[in-house]
Structure 1
Amino acid sequence: MTPSPLDAELAAVFSVLAGARERTTELGQVIALLTAAGHDPAELPVATGDRLLLALHRELTGRDIEPVLACGCGEFSTVRLGPDTVPPARPRTAVLGRAGGLRQPTYGDLLDLPPDAAGRAELLRRCTVGIPERAPAPHDFELIDDSLAGPLTFDCPACGREVEHPVDVQTLVLRGLLTLLDELDHDVHVLASAYGWDLATIEALPRSRRRRLAAIAVGGG
């Protein structure tokens, strides 16, 4: 049985993600995931990476992220977050005088930062370009931040009030993919136990059939 190209890609990316699951940091997991998908995180702006993560989530799961958002009136709503529902990434540089400024951070810039204030100072140093007329300050990152982490604004369908809800796409994507990985591990265990199939045979099954067969095996019929 030969897996389809998408199923083969799913298995390859999930193999990397399975190893990355044991990493201690979310950043390490994201870098491993983007690398497996064919990107170079060291040079990739975090803002661009957030959009790529949304596209990867859709490709691997077949659906978009839909966080549940709460309004003060008691109403709960969902907002779909996908690569075509968020603004495209825009290259940004904060010009701090004629000779330099501050660029968007890449994943490489975030590696091995010291904690607390020393880490913020080091990140500023890494993202400084040229020779600014004044030293960049932490609040200057607000001028270049195009990531998908922060408040999501939506209109409550019940009361019409504009509501802000904190969202971090990186965390949501990882949570969704790791949940799907847990489901895949469960299906492999069930099918191997029920039918004695090897791992390659089970992973070669289309995802929908693998799920159905696992449900049948668990249900006993």
Structure 2
Amino acid sequence: MPALSAAQLLSVWEHGALRHPLDRALLLFAVAEPGLAPDALADAPLGACNAALMRLRRDCFGAAIPAWTDCPACGERMSFELDLAQLPAMTPVPDVVEVEGHRFRCPGARQLAALADCPDADEAARRLLLSCIADEAQAPADNAMLDQLLVHAEHAIEAADPWADLAVDYQCPACGHAGEAAFDIASYLWEEIEAHAGRLLDEVHLLASSYGWREDEILALGDVRRAAYLARVTP
């Protein structure tokens, strides 16, 4: 999709500012895939959502993704530029995954939202697995059987939908510790939109105060022309 205009970006920011992170991710998914129905957005595999958000991010802000993480071993802050080649290929997610005679759907936002009030990680994992079973009649009868299946199902679902839980390998230059850092594209993209919206609001305020123009008139200016006017009213 084409990059968001200044007015569109501010509208996305306004509609998402007070939403839960899951709802914000779905809002951004709807922007990235305007042809999908609301129910389809909530039920789509997480990897499909994340891949769409990555494409939206690329179209709006470019392919270079500056990032940072703190080393858990020594606390050193590591700054780096994420290379999309480090991430799995954006391939279609299968409708179902078969594991030991059971058929699973890859989880989506609807399944995660149902776990928002679950304080126990193990119980949340079990509930998530049960919500992904395509045929509820096949659900294991007890937690022991469910936990045994969970190990195999997690690996199979992760292989089928690698974009669902993105992570980047790193090695600390200070102490040599190596590990993985989670990368949440929905949160990352939202922070960029929020920062860009803040700058746009500052620009609108300054130009409206200086020239008496309306917000829509200022936002309709291209970036180059708006910057030229800003240069003339900024000390």
Q: What TM-score bracket applies, with the shorter chain setting the length?
A: 0.7 to 0.9
CA contact (8 A) 1:42 1:107 kept: yes
Taking every aligned residue pair, what percent have the same amino acid on both sides?
Answer: 23
Give the aligned partner of residue 169 of structure 1. Answer: 185
The code of the aligned residue for 2:31 comes to A
- Greater displacement, 146-155 / 195-204: 146-155
| Structure 1 position 129, deviation (Å) | 1.4
| Structure 1 position 56, deviation (Å) | 0.9
CA contact (8 A) 2:45 2:106 kept: yes
TM-score of the superposed pair, with normalisation by structure 1: 0.76
Give the 3 Å change call, closer, same or farther, for CA 104–211 of structure 1 in structure 2.
farther
* 1:152 matched to 2:152: no
Please report the RMSD computed on the Cα atoms of aligned residues, expressed in angstroms. Answer: 3.2
CA contact (8 A) 1:75 1:158 kept: no
SS where residue 49 of structure 1 aligns? helix
| Structure 1 position 114, deviation (Å) | 5.2
SS where residue 66 of structure 2 aligns? coil
Higher helix share: 2
Give the 3 Å change call, closer, same or farther, for CA 95–133 of structure 1 in structure 2.
farther
The code of the aligned residue for 1:27 comes to L
- For 1:121 and 1:160, how far apart are their aligned partners in 2? 36
| Structure 1 position 21, deviation (Å) | 0.8
Give the aligned partner of residue 19 of structure 1. Answer: 15
Equivalent pairs counted in the alignment come to 211
TM-score of the superposed pair, with normalisation by structure 2: 0.72
Give the aligned partner of residue 156 of structure 2. Answer: 143
Give the aligned partner of residue 107 of structure 1. Answer: 109
Unaligned runs of 5+ in 2: none
Give the 3 Å change call, closer, same or farther, for CA 207–148 of structure 1 in structure 2.
farther
* 1:30 matched to 2:25: yes
Of 203, 207, 211, 1:195 maps to 211
- For 2:167 and 2:4, how far apart are their aligned partners in 1? 35
SS where residue 23 of structure 2 aligns? helix
- For 2:27 and 2:97, how far apart are their aligned partners in 1? 29
| Structure 1 position 104, deviation (Å) | 1.2
The code of the aligned residue for 1:86 comes to L
Give the aligned partner of residue 95 of structure 1. Answer: 98
- For 2:58 and 2:165, how far apart are their aligned partners in 1? 18
- For 1:53 and 1:6, how far apart are their aligned partners in 2? 12
* Equivalent residues in 2 for 1:81-92, closer than 5 Å: 81-82=83-84, 86-90=87-91, 91=93
The code of the aligned residue for 1:128 comes to I
Give the aligned partner of residue 44 of structure 1. Answer: 44
Give the aligned partner of residue 127 of structure 1. Answer: 132
